[in-house]
Structure 1
Amino acid sequence: MALGIYINMKNEARDALSFYGEIFGSTCTDLMTYGSIHDENGPEMDAKTKELVMNASLEIEGDKVMFSDTPDFMEFIPGNNVTLVLEVTDADKLTRYFDALSDGATKIMPLQKTFWSEKFGQLTDKYGVGWSFNLV
């Protein structure tokens, strides 16, 4: 099990990856853009949005720090843009954590299959902490 850090930005993720990568001597090897999504039911995206970072990461002192841009069709709130990411290999354990933290929480995305995981979900717990749950 790993606990990661996820930072959302408004159109600055590429710059941040370069900036932090230079400082910490790390190179991003997993950058994925919104344009790489092939979802017919998803929102319409212009060329600028398709180039935004959907997910990317750097290793900083042995820890994975993930980055994403928040496109215009999603809400961006400075100060609420850091999320804890719980990556678990046991589906039942992941579900237990999600369900337990759901008490008094705002569910953003229920646990469901995505193109990158058999189970992924997001919520903001009753203390205002953002959580993402990812089955790896």
Structure 2
Amino acid sequence: MLNNAFRAMRISASGLAAERMRMDLISSNIANYNSIKTENTEAYKRKIAVFEQYLDRNEKGMSKFKGVKVSKIIEDNTPSKMVYDPNHPNANGEGFVETSNVNILNEMADMIMATRAYESNADNFNANKQMFMKALEIGK
């Protein structure tokens, strides 16, 4: 039984770590919103965290859920934005500058979802901790 209680805390902790990684990527996306393609570099491509369930398989082939993890980070393949600015030094022959494919509104919505998921995992972790504290008080 005690192992199951700690398991719930480990699952919440894995969610906290995964959502933290997601928020870090969103922050990086927002920070690189204004990047452009130059002669030496490509325009920034939005990064996305891909979550995967973390399972522990026993010798009988049964799986036990142990949490969530970031399995990989992928680049968003949506096309870059083309901004008409013929006076810009990095404009192409038609006068367009290639900028990042980051959409600030989408990033803000993703940040709100990640923040709420992080808070939910933190609340769950704290509730488990309070249950442990009450159980210790009963034992006195």
If the length of structure 1 is used for normalisation, what is the TM-score? 0.19
If the length of structure 2 is used for normalisation, what is the TM-score? 0.19
**Per chain length, whose mean CA-contact separation is higher, i.e. which structure has more relative contact order (CA < 8 Å, sep 6+)?**
2
Larger radius of gyration: 2
